[in-house]
Copies of this chain bind each other. A is one copy, B any other.
Amino acid sequence: MSSPAFSEPPASAPASKSERAYRWIRDRIDHHRYGPGYRLVLGAIADELQMSVVPVREAIRRLEAEGLVTFERNVGARVAVVDEQEYVDTMQTLGIVEGTATAMAAPLLSPGDLRQADLINRQMHRLLKSFDAQAFTALNQQFHSILFAPCPNKQLLDLVDRGWVRLSGLRDSSFSVIPGRAEHSVAEHADLVEMIRAGADPLDIELAAREHRWRTLNAFLDARHSATTNTANTANTASPNTASTNATTRGRKNP
Determine if B159 and A159 form an interchain contact, defined as CB atoms under 8 angstroms apart.
Answer: yes
- In chain A, positions 93-109 with a C-beta closer than 8 Å to chain B are 93, 96-97, 100
A153 to B163, CA, bound (A): 14
Give the contacting residue for A156; candidates B62, B89, B154; CB below 8 A. B89
Convert A149-177 into 0s and 1s, putting 1 for each residue whose CB lies closer than 8 angstroms to a CB of B.
00001111001000000000000000000
Q: Tell me, yes or no, whether A90 is within 8 Å of chain B by CB.
A: yes
Convert A29-58 into 0s and 1s, putting 1 for each residue whose CB lies closer than 8 angstroms to a CB of B.
000000000000000000000000010011
**Given A16-B73, A97-B97, is A89 in contact with B154 using a C-beta cutoff of 8 Å?**
yes
Q: Tell me, yes or no, whether A241 is within 8 Å of chain B by CB.
A: no
CB distance from A255 to the nearest CB of B (A): 28
Give the residue name and chain of the B residue nearest to A57 (CB): B58
**Given A13-B73, A16-B73, A54-B54, is A96 in contact with B61 using a C-beta cutoff of 8 Å?**
no
CB distance from A41 to the nearest CB of B (A): 17
Q: Tell me, yes or no, whether A118 is within 8 Å of chain B by CB.
A: no
A92 to B235, CA, bound (A): 38
Convert A48-79 into 0s and 1s, putting 1 for each residue whose CB lies closer than 8 angstroms to a CB of B.
00000010011001101110000001000000
Give the contacting residue for A159; candidates B58, B66, B93; CB below 8 A. B93
A37 to B252, CA, bound (A): 42
Closest 3 CB pairs of A and B: A65-B65, A89-B155, A61-B61
Q: List 17 A-B contacts (CB under 8 A).
A: A13-B73, A16-B73, A54-B54, A57-B58, A58-B58, A61-B65, A65-B65, A89-B153, A89-B155, A90-B155, A92-B153, A93-B97, A93-B153, A93-B159, A96-B96, A96-B100, A159-B159
A86-B154, A93-B153, A93-B159 known; 10 other A-B pairs, CB under 8 Å? A9-B73, A58-B61, A89-B153, A89-B154, A89-B155, A92-B156, A93-B97, A93-B155, A97-B97, A159-B159
